Structure 1
Amino acid sequence: MLKILQARLQQYVNCEIPDVQAGFRKGRGTRDQIANIHWITEKAREFQKNIYFCFIDYAKAFDCVDHNKLWKILKDMGIPDHLTTNLYAGQEATVRTGHGTTDWFQIGKGVHQGCIFSPCLFNLYTEYIVRNTGLEEAQAGTKIAGRNINNLRYADDTTFMAESEEELKS
């Protein structure tokens, strides 16, 4: 069942996620992004441009996905919410400790680790955040072959780039 849902959601992912995100994409891998960074570095040298990188790895990224924000994001992207909300709505948990069991509590964050569906949800979630930071329109980055490149992503790893420290900080 999840495989069918994932195939449906993947259609949206393929339309919404740009090429700079290689994580959880068929035929793409970390080697592609490493090669891209190497190529960008070589082109910067060739054209005598400075290039600065900032590498970010988000800790416990899947655990930080807020469900209410995710539902809003999916709705804003035109993705039918019934594809996902039934998997997460009304989830509760309890924790067993050395002192007994806690009361039941609502789970409002996180996508399921190891679930075939979660990478798609995570990519859509992070893409929405990137779009709303204005990063795609930002002038920071480096122009190569007429294209401004200011970030590369692989799942929860993001590389920002700019031609100066000041640009990178902005």
Structure 2
Amino acid sequence: METTINCQLMRYLEEHQLISDRQYGFRQRRSAGDLLAYLTHRWSEAIEGKGEALAVSLDVAKAFDRVWHKALLSKLPSYGLPEKLCEWISSFLEGRSIKVVVDGACSDPKPINAGVPQGCVLSPTLFLLHINDMLKISNIHCFADDSTGDAL
């Protein structure tokens, strides 16, 4: 079910051009090589024209673990997603907990209020939606959670 939902969600987001063109990760027909070629061309033109280019690269540690559920869920309706789908995604994320086992002793469960589940098909798409608004208002280009900004 998760795979079907993810395929339909990504198709909807792509058809309606709701994911920033500055995001190259987790998308069909886009690759890290495409982003590198684009940025190299952009910076080369800036250096030829102005004699300089400034770029900053950022890799957010454990970015998938930092997706704040409440913020992500509040953004979903703005993409025009059906209420039932938003509710399903909320159910998918909320109510999760973690236990730690050491030498056979198990801790009490602790609620998880952030992060998208590692290894789940839907997680990359949810991550894209979480950071999408940042890309739309900035000059940052991303491949998944690796970001590069420039001032040209």
| TM-score (norm: length of structure 1) | 0.78
- Residue 44 (str. 1) matches residue 46 (str. 2): yes
Contact 1:2 1:117 in 2 (8 A): yes
* Identity over aligned pairs, percent: 31
Corresponding residue for 1:110?
A: 115
CA contact (8 A) 2:68 2:113 kept: yes
**Number of residue pairs aligned between Structure 1 and Structure 2:** 147
**1:84 aligned counterpart, secondary structure:** helix
Pairwise CA distance, 1:27: 1.1
Cα distance in 1, alignment partners of residues 43 and 91 from structure 2: 45
Deviation of the 1:36 alpha carbon: 1.0
- Over 3 Å off, 4+ runs: none
Q: Deviations over 1:5-35 (max 9, x none)?
A: 0022113432211211101010111101110
Structure 2 gap segments, 5+ residues each: none
**C-alpha separation in 2, matches of 1:130 and 1:35:** 19
- Residue type at the aligned position of 2:74: K
CA distances 1:12-70 after superposition (whole Å, capped 9, x unpaired): 43221121110101011110111011101221133234210000001001011111111
TM value normalised by structure 2: 0.87
The residue aligned with 1:5 is 5
The answer on whether the counterparts of 2:141 and 2:148 sit within 8 Å (CA) in structure 1 is yes
**2:24 aligned to which of 22, 25, 36:** 22
CA contact (8 A) 1:54 1:160 kept: yes
- Please give the secondary structure, in 1, of the residue aligned with 2:58: strand
Contact 2:23-2:135 at 8 Å conserved across structures? no
Task: Tell me, yes or no, if the aligned pair for 1:73 and 1:128 is still in contact at 8 Å.
Answer: no
Is the 1:55–1:159 Cα contact (8 Å) retained in structure 2? yes
Which consecutive unaligned segments of at least 5 residues does structure 1 have?
136-149, 164-170
